[in-house]
Chain A
């Protein structure tokens, strides 16, 4: 069945360094959503991408959807300790209604 692979699983960075997590699929995705979950918290919606080649920015966060709509990335510029948490992508299949999750990338930021 359809799968979304997310890498890396873990990332430790020094505060101020950049961070990127990637979601990849072997099939075309109609959409991709990104969520953040802080330690001990619940997932919080960040953004949704639906168009080929789409790029959206939220302050230091940049979200991209690939031209072929088979991959997506989340890039954080100059990480801060408040960026700590797990970032994961979700694809919602309009046909089946099923939700397909990336495994998540847990970000640790050293002050």
Chain B
């Protein structure tokens, strides 16, 4: 158990819909990272937040957005969902804002878009 929690564990929704994925980092960790993992594309970095502010951006679509709240939990919002958005979404946390630091991954949210 990494200490990072993600909810929900599974999510099934229809195309065009909007969903919110939630992540609670390990106690004391200030950074939250979001990743998308699909079968054909491997692990893709989406975005990082550090202490409430966006720190780094990866291959995140404009239909996706994220935020980190004062209590440091984070939410990833996915809108106008398409079939291709079906994937496993991980969040990870880290004590610092430095990219060169070990990360602790949550169990993931499996999103299925039908």
A residues sitting closer than 8 Å to B (CB atoms) are: 30-31, 33, 42-45, 48, 50, 88, 92-94, 96-99, 101, 103-104
Closest CB-CB distance, A7 to chain B, in whole Å?
14
Instruction: List the B side residues contacting A43 at CB < 8 Å.
Output: 43, 90, 92, 103, 105
Complex: A104 Cα to B35 Cα, angstroms: 15
Residues of A within 8 A of B98 (CB): 92, 94, 97
Inter-subunit contact A101/B99 (CB<8 Å): no
Can you list 28 A-B contacts (CB < 8 A)?
Answer: A31-B100, A33-B100, A42-B90, A42-B105, A42-B106, A42-B107, A42-B108, A43-B92, A44-B2, A45-B104, A48-B100, A48-B101, A88-B42, A92-B99, A94-B98, A94-B99, A96-B99, A97-B48, A98-B45, A98-B56, A98-B99, A99-B45, A99-B99, A101-B42, A101-B43, A101-B44, A103-B42, A104-B43
Report which B residues bind A (CB closer than 8 A): 2, 33, 42-45, 48, 55-58, 90, 92, 97-108
A103 to B42 Cα, complex, angstroms? 6
Is the beta-carbon distance between B56 and A33 smaller than 8 angstroms? no
